[in-house]
Each structure stands twice: as structure tokens, then as C-alpha cells.
């Protein structure tokens, strides 16, 4: 990297990548909002409530603050150089080619296994209405439909994701309003027992102890996976220097309302001891309230959330494979764009791997969700760590005058990035401590070994792949 002082502080961008800038402000905003509301909240919260009781609210708030630090770090990098496949690109620039390669492939893995989790969750939700239909059949049908949507164009993806997210947001706000109504006016069959005191009346706010509450952090972090999807949209956003900061800065109120607010209301309306793993607490709460068809409506909403996340997974995996191919770290065939400017081949390969989730639903339907969420969380933590470390190194380069300053600097410089790094390492330690989730670290170790072998083969065939390259800049506007 050049040591000459850089004085140009304009927002920078990579040259045209061939993508269509088809995601408008409305769609990017809703993708950002929808990314913070997924199956981790709608389905995973049931198991975490059983483990931690009302203290789960604090865990979501704590993890939410860390996620905001991560997103502000990413935001500063995105406005320094907005590029599709951003995490891999920044790892490549600031940590070296191997880290770009490793991060790109690991983020791809994260979304493939997340797609499996979402397909599993969607199949569980459909089972609510049609218990006779096997989980694997439902998962396969949804996989094929979303695959078709992603092949059409980025505009169709963006529009579908907009409406998916609109359903989630509207429904969650509705749930909060109805829950507050039950608390305030005491209507419905839950009115007699609904009270704020439910947060501490049953063995206290930390009924299983602080340690048990901390152990839920791994599941809580899975719930926040996908907030960084905004970074993947950078190469296809119409006006990244305006839409991306707005999307990131609205994250705190989204977390406060949709996670902390919604869980607080639900746990006031229904005492925590009535929730169980494998059942959405939102569906259970509406069944308890007794609103006609309420549980069915909520079940439709959480089904929408699952399909939304799977849709996003197909979108991001294709883009990440193309970024890897552009750097010589994946087969060149992944660079091809279809007539509609989508990385169709990369999406197709990713969908085939997501199909493993269909097989898991056939073989171990009761364990499929737990298996894949733990692997996705480990891969997500790696991605977030790379964003944070890249940000720390970028800030050092800016202070030294080697790189232009971003127009969207993170508050406190790199201080909060260090806080987030320590927190993520702590969560990794919790995963290692827990016997059930520890298996994901073994999977990640095997994945790292496979990538290490792949890197050695790549270097032997093309030594240039291991050479650092100067980032290309182009002013936006």
C-alpha cells in the first residue's frame, strides 16, 4: 500500500462491476430493517426464553449494542470504498489476500447454512397448518420458488424482499400494540394474568442464573445475523453514499423496538414458564391471548420471515462467489452474469448446497435447526471479526495519512471496534464451553483445514493470487 499522503476525502467506489444498480433507497432501507428481524427472533427465542427467562431481554439489548458497533465500523468502510462483497474485499485489502479468500468463502458458508436453517423453520411453520406434509417436501418447494426469483433480476429480488420485510415490520408493530392493549385494558383470555410483574414474579428476572443467561448469547447473535447484508447491497444500490448511512443509523431503534420491545411485551403478557423450545413465542402468545385466527396470522408472518432470510441468502451467496472469482479465489465461471445481470451460476451452486438442508429435514427433522444455526453463528462471528479488524487497520491508515477519510466515520474511532472484538471472542468461548454447540467449532476447524488446502493449491497454480493488489478508486457522483 502506498505510503504517500492522500488528501482526497471524497467518497470512493470501485469501477463498474457489471451489476445493475437496481436497488432503490426504499428497498435498501427495508432490506436493512428486515435483516434485523429473522427466524432467530421468531423461532429461536422460544428455546432461549426457556433457558434464560425474562433476562433474555438484556441479552438482546447487549448483543444489539455490539451489532451497532459492528455496523458503524462497516459503514465507515463502505463509504470509504463501496463494493459488492465488501467484507471479503476489506479483509483482502487490510489483512492480506488469504484473509479475503477465507472471509469470502466463510461468508458464503454462513449464508448457505442459514438458508438451510430458514428452510427448516419454514417447513416447521407450514407443519402448523398441514401436519401431514413432510418437512422435507415443504423445504424443497420453497427452495425452488426462491431460486427462480433470484434468477430473474436484482429488482425482483429487491421488490420481494421489500414486501417480505413490510409484512414482518407491520406484524411486529401490531403484536406490540395488541400486547400493550392486553396489559393496559386487560382484554382477552390473557388479560387476567398479563402484568409487568411477570418479568420478575417467577423466580426473579434471572431465574436460571446469570451464567445460564450468558449461554444464550450464541443463539442471540444468530438472531442478528444478516444485519450486515446492507454491505453486500453496496455494489447494486442506486445511491450508496446516502442510503447506506441512513440504513445503518436507524439500526438502534430497530433493535430497541423489534427485539427488546417485542420480547418485553410478550413476556409481560405471558409468563416465561409457558414458552418452550421449538415453538415460536409469538405464535404461543397469540394462542394464549385467544384472538380468532391470531396464532395462524402470526405463523404466516414468521413463515414470511424465514423465506425472506432464505431469499437474502441466495442473493448474497451468488455475489460473494463472484467477488471471489474476480480475485482468482474461485473458478472463473462464477464471474459470469446472466442477461438480467445476476450471478446465476453462483446462485445455482449455492442453492444446490442449500439443498443439503432439505436432506437434513428428511434425516433428522427434529435436530436440523439446531445443527445449522450453530455453524452459521460461528461463520458469522468470523465475518464480524474481519469487519472489525479491517476497520481498526483502516483507521490506523487514515491517521497515518495513507488512505482517504470516510464520509461516515464511526463514533469514537476504533475504540468501539475493540470492545466488539472482545465481546465476540467471549461469545466464541461460550460456544466452546457448551457441549451442544461446540460441534460447530469442529465443523469450522474442518472448514479452515479445507480452505487452507485450497489456498495452497491456488498459490501453486497461480502465485499472483497471493500478491497484494492496490484498491481501485473512482469518485461517486
Contact criterion met (CB below 8 Å) for 451 and 102 = yes
- The three-state secondary structure class of 323 is helix
Say if residues 277 and 45 touch (Cβ distance below 8 Å): no
pLDDT at 424: 96
Residue pair 223/41 in contact by the 8 Å Cβ criterion: yes
Beta bridge partners of 475: 12
CA separation for the pair 187, 178 (Å, rounded): 10
Counting DSSP H helices and E strands in the chain, the numbers are 20, 2
CA distance 110 to 313: 9
What lies within 8 Å, CB to CB, of 375 at 6+ separation is 109, 113, 440, 443, 444
CA dihedral sign, ordered 303, 305, 308, 314: negative
Question: Rounded CA gap, 306 and 40, in Å?
Answer: 9
* Closest CA relative to residue 46, chosen from 272, 357, 332: 272
**pLDDT by residue, tens only, the chain of 477 residues:** 444 444 443 333 333 455 655 566 667 767 766 666 776 777 778 888 888 889 999 999 999 999 999 999 999 998 898 776 678 889 989 999 999 999 999 989 888 888 887 887 788 888 888 889 888 888 889 999 888 888 887 777 778 888 888 888 888 888 889 888 888 887 777 767 788 888 988 888 999 999 889 998 988 888 888 777 776 666 566 677 777 787 788 888 888 888 899 899 999 888 888 888 777 788 788 877 877 677 788 788 878 888 888 888 888 888 888 888 888 888 888 888 877 777 889 999 999 998 887 777 677 666 666 667 778 888 889 999 999 999 999 999 999 999 999 999 999 889 999 999 999 999 999 988 888 778 888 889 999 999 999 999 998 888 888 776 666 554 443
- Give per-residue burial for 267-292: e unless 16+ CB within 10 Å, then b: bbbbbbebbeeebbbbbbbbbbbebe
Read off the C-alpha cell for 89.
474485499
DSSP β-bridge partners for residue 237:
23
What pLDDT is attached to residue 9?
37
Residue 415 neighbours by CB distance under 10 Å: 12
Amino acid 311: pLDDT: 82
Distance CA 94, CA 81 (A): 13
* Element holding 475 (H helix, E strand): strand 474-475
Predicted local confidence at residue 398, as pLDDT:
95
Counting other chains too, the contacts that 126-135 makes at CB distance below 8 Å and 24 or more residues apart are 126/303, 128/283, 128/296, 128/299, 129/296, 129/299, 134/361, 134/362, 135/361, 135/362, 135/365, 135/368
What pLDDT sits at residue 10? 37
pLDDT at 414: 94
Q: What is the pLDDT of residue 445?
A: 92
* Spatial CA neighbour of 179 closest among 293, 58, 259, 264: 264
Residues 228 and 383 sit within 8 Å (Cβ to Cβ): yes
Do 395 and 458 meet the contact criterion of CB atoms below 8 Å apart? Answer: no
Residue 173 C-alpha cell reads as 408493530
Grid cell for residue 11:
467518497
Amino acid at each position: 500500500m502506498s505510503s504517500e499522503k492522500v488528501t482526497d476525502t471524497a467518497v470512493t467506489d470501485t469501477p463498474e462491476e457489471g451489476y445493475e444498480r437496481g436497488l432503490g433507497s426504499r428497498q435498501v432501507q427495508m432490506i436493512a430493517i428486515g435483516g434485523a428481524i429473522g427466524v432467530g427472533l421468531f423461532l429461536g427465542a422460544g428455546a432461549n426464553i426457556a433457558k434464560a427467562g425474562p433476562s433474555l431481554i438484556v441479552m438482546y439489548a447487549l448483543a444489539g449494542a455490539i451489532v451497532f458497533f459492528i455496523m458503524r465500523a462497516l459503514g465507515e468502510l463502505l463509504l470509504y470504498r463501496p463494493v459488492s462483497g465488501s467484507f471479503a474485499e476489506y479483509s483482502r485489502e487490510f489483512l492480506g489476500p488469504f484473509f479475503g479468500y477465507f472471509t469470502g468463502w466463510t461468508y458464503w458458508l454462513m449464508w448457505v447454512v442459514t438458508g438451510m436453517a430458514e428452510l427448516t423453520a419454514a417447513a416447521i411453520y407450514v407443519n402448523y397448518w398441514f401436519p401431514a406434509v413432510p418437512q422435507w417436501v415443504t423445504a424443497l418447494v420453497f427452495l425452488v420458488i426462491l431460486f427462480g426469483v433470484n434468477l430473474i433480476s436484482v429488482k425482483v429480488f429487491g421488490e420481494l424482499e421489500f414486501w417480505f420485510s413490510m409484512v414482518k415490520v407491520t406484524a411486529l408493530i401490531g403484536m406490540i400494540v395488541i400486547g400493550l392493549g392486553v396489559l393496559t385494558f386487560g382484554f382477552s383470555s390473557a388479560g387476567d394474568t398479563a402484568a409487568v410483574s411477570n418479568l420478575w414474579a417467577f423466580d426473579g428476572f434471572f431465574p436460571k442464573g446469570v451464567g445460564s443467561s450468558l449461554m444464550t448469547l450464541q443463539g442471540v447473535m444468530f438472531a442478528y445475523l444478516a444485519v450486515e447484508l446492507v454491505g453486500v447491497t453496496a455494489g447494486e444500490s442506486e445511491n450508496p453514499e446516502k442510503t447506506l448511512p441512513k440504513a445503518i443509523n436507524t439500526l438502534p431503534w430497530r433493535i430497541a423496538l423489534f427485539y427488546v420491545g417485542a420480547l418485553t411485551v410478550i413476556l409481560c403478557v405471558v409468563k416465561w414458564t409457558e414458552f418452550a423450545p421449538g415453538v415460536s413465542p409469538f405464535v404461543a402468545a397469540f394462542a394464549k391471548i385467544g384472538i380468532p385466527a391470531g396464532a395462524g396470522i402470526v405463523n404466516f408472518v414468521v413463515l414470511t420471515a424465514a423465506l425472506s432470510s432464505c431469499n437474502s441468502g441466495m442473493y448474497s451467496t451468488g455475489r460473494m462467489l463472484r467477488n471471489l472469482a474476480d480475485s482468482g479465489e474461485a473458478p472463473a465461471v462464477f464471474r459470469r452474469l446472466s442477461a438480467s445481470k445476476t450471478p446465476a451460476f453462483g446462485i445455482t451452486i449455492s442453492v444446490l448446497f442449500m439443498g443439503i438442508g432439505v436432506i437434513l429435514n428428511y434425516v433428522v427433522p427434529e435436530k436440523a435447526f439446531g445443527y445449522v444455526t450453530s455453524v452459521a453463528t460461528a461463520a458469522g462471528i468470523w465475518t464480524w471479526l474481519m469487519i472489525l479488524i479491517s476497520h481498526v487497520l483502516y483507521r490506523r491508515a487514515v491517521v497515518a495519512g495513507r488512505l482517504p477519510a470516510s464520509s461516515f466515520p464511526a463514533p469514537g474511532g476504533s475504540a468501539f471496534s475493540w470492545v466488539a472484538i472482545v465481546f465476540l471472542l467471549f461469545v466464541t468461548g461460550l460456544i466452546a464451553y457448551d457441549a451442544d454447540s461446540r460441534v460447530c467449532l469442529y465443523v469450522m476447524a474442518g472448514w479452515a483445514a479445507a480452505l487452507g488446502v485450497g489456498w495452497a493449491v491456488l498459490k501453486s497454480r497461480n502465485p499472483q493470487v497471493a500478491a497484494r493488489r492496490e484498491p481501485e478508486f473512482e469518485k461517486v457522483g
